[in-house]
Amino acid sequence: MGISTKTVSRLLRIAPDLMCIDGSQTLVKGKLLDPYKKQIQELIERGFKNTQIMGHLKSMFPELSPKRTTLDDFCRKIREELYEHTPISLCDIQEISSKSILTSHIIKINQMYDEGKSIKDIFSKIKENGFDGSYSLLQQYCLTIKPLSRKQKKITCKVKRTDILSATWSAYNENISEHDILYIEETYPIYKEVKGIINEFRIAYKEKDTDAIMLWCKKYAQCSFPAICSFINGITSDIDAVLNSLRYSYNNGLLEGKVNKLKEVKRSMYGRASYSLLRAKMLLANVI
């Protein structure tokens, strides 16, 4: 057929559903992740990084294997939709030395950079106006004024995180109104989901129901909230102490007090004495 081995190997690496009738690959750049936009956006809002999003996508959709750069570009576009940018005025830019060869072109450079012109276009323009400096000099100056926008979350009401956490756990906080809580639940359904999970744990812990605690840990051990998963891992790693705190009314406060007293005496000796002297000091203190 006159086809080289390199061409055959290239065609074999192309998925069948991405090929046209004539055997050429279809142009699907930027379209591969479109069916999964809702899941990716939800992971971004939950605070996952791109590497974590990649892992979750592979676990949820084993047939999906996007490139890292493709996912990064797709996540960047979603974040641009979720966040807005507030322009920063050029008056905040530090002035350069009056002896610099850029001084006579500063106004033009700032104006063009504020309009969104690239450094290459600015360099060409000021070159026509008599600038005889290097491109790196202009680039160095532009890097000092590069952050012309500040990214901030699109929000309509500002509340403290501590107040939200307090209201989530106790269902009441004097610094945040019930209207604000309802607004947050309607605007961010994820918060309502987290609140339901925490409420289940709070009720089980208040009633000292060990079976309910174990069932709650098993139910949400693989949930989509990293903080809750980390909390459950901490509980399961020391499950005996957690269950004993529910079963019994007494605690180890007496033991902790003795340990604290022992450490205080030990530190007062500055590590210069032996164990026998430390033992004698502790026994003498109890006698006195």
State the pLDDT confidence band at 11, using cuts at 50, 70 and 90: low
* Nearest alpha carbon to residue 138 among 109, 112, 115, 117: 109
In the predicted structure, residue 179 carries a pLDDT above the cut 50: yes
State the pLDDT confidence band at 151, using cuts at 50, 70 and 90: very low
> Residues 184-212: what's their mean pLDDT?
87
In the predicted structure, residue 20 carries a pLDDT above the cut 70: no
State the pLDDT confidence band at 264, using cuts at 50, 70 and 90: confident
| pLDDT recorded at residue 90 | 44
Task: List pLDDT tens digits, range 84-113.
Answer: 544 444 444 455 555 677 777 878 888 887
| Burial category of 245 from C-beta neighbours within 10 Å (exposed 0-12, middle 13-18, buried 19 and up) | middle
In the predicted structure, residue 218 carries a pLDDT above the cut 70: yes
Q: Which residue has the higher pLDDT, 259 or 150?
A: 259
* Nearest alpha carbon to residue 225 among 181, 188, 186, 193: 193
- Cβ neighbours around 264 below 10 Å, total: 9
| pLDDT recorded at residue 131 | 82
> Residues 215-237: what's their mean pLDDT?
90
- The amino acid occupying position 143 is L
Question: What is the reported pTM?
Answer: 0.38
> Residues 267-277: what's their mean pLDDT?
79
